[in-house]
Amino acid sequence: MPSFVVEVDDANGRQGVLDIGGGHVTTPAYVPSDEVSRVAEGFPGIERQNSLCECDLWVSRGDIDRLRTHPEEKWEVEESVRAQMDDTQSAAKLLHFNFFSDVTGLEKEALVHILGLQYRTGADVIEIPHGFCSTRSYERAVQAALEWQRQTEMDVSLMGVARSTDDLAMLHRYLPNLGGIGIDCRRFEKALLYQIRRTLKPEDVWVHAFTAPLQYREVENRGTLGMLINWFGVDTVNTIALSDHARQYFAGSMARMGVSEWSRCMKKLRYFAPTDYSALTFGMLEEEYGRECRLSRFCGCPVCRNLTIGDALDSQLELYRMNHFHRAFAYDEECRKYQHALKNNETDRFLEKRPYATEIIRRSSGMLVSTPMRRFQPRVSDEAGRSPSSQAAMQKMVMR
């Protein structure tokens, strides 16, 4: 049963300890996906600061309907999920369901199957899955999940999921019976995050974000909050990768593109720079710094350490995957630094060095009138003196 205690409640965020699966997670913390966790083990010098990992499943309405009409396939699905969970080297594990927009709700039979699937495959907290439905419909799912927990006498906590302020207000009423609250942050829901800050940040309630936006209109889509979503009271966050189906579709679309069209597409991908929390496109980086500029100017993670902007753009279909790993490593390192800042009353200084995140927070709260953002000027990291690797070496790195 997970438990969470806030140790530092700062005006700019909070630091706490989450006990789950027999391990202790110091927050704010980045929760890697199973894919990122496996890749990280192949990089020397990467330390896992916590023992929590998240496995993600993408589910469409067709997937749900097929299991209803072909119940004999449930065993195969469960064995596949169990293998995914068993392959994850982590003391505590979450199983998160990413629903496509055609899943507007779950029938009770499907809900109970998903709850039992999580328990049988070893999840340390059981998510009450939230399709794209109303708060009233989701509350019925929460009540059904609590009833299932009582009847089966399962000793694993439940986690509700909020997509809106109404969802959060509803879940708050059930908090004594929930082990935490998850939020769907694929879009920047300002009202939802501010309600978390007002109602949950002062409480010993674990708040987990399943993903966080990479760009914000408050800074003309040129920057991100990154792990500083903790300012609102979010303790842990995961960055979700593409589903296998989406990857296949993306690869097929890329294969049909001409060279110039493919290049334009790659240049639209955004790169997170922990030096100032900017999220410029690779095209912007190439234009401002040139193809020979090393990404280690912006980040010292294992992916960026020996890579130029040109290497990244030439990596073809691996660029998305490589960029996802980079963001995971960078978020993890930023968590460590912010934990230190929270414990040592240095959050103001930390925020000053991340101007894009600071600007998002200030403009979102109405604390600052519109002022021009300073030009993106990343500091040179300690890795800047290293020589860039060859394209072959980069491919080997991201394919581990």
* Residue 148 exposure: Cα atoms within 13 Å on the Cβ side: 24
Is residue 14 within 8 Å of residue 34, measured between CB atoms?
no
Output the six-digit token pair for 190: 């300002």
Residues with Cβ within 8 Å of residue 132, at least 6 apart in sequence: 99, 101, 103, 104, 105, 163
Q: How far apart are CA 389 and CA 310, in angstroms?
A: 11
| DSSP structure string for 19-69 | EETTEEEEESEE--BHHHHHHHTTSTT-----SEEEEEEEE-HHHHHHHHH
Residue among 386, 326, 380 nearest 39 (CA): 326
β-partners of residue 137 are none
Q: How many CB atoms lie within 10 A of CB 337?
A: 15
- Domains within the chain, CATH numbers bracketed: 3-237 (3.20.20.120)
Q: H or E stretch including 6?
A: strand 3-10
Return per-residue pLDDT of the chain as tens, 400 residues. Answer: 679 999 999 999 999 999 998 889 999 999 988 777 776 665 554 555 547 889 888 898 999 999 889 988 999 999 999 998 888 878 899 999 988 889 988 999 999 999 999 999 999 999 999 988 999 999 999 999 999 999 999 889 999 999 999 999 999 999 989 999 999 887 778 889 999 999 999 999 999 998 777 777 788 889 999 999 999 999 999 876 555 555 555 556 656 666 677 678 889 899 999 999 999 999 999 999 999 999 999 999 988 988 999 999 988 668 888 888 899 899 999 999 999 999 999 999 999 999 999 999 988 765 533 334 444 344 444 433 333 333 343 344 334 3
Q: How far apart are CA 352 and CA 338, in angstroms?
A: 13
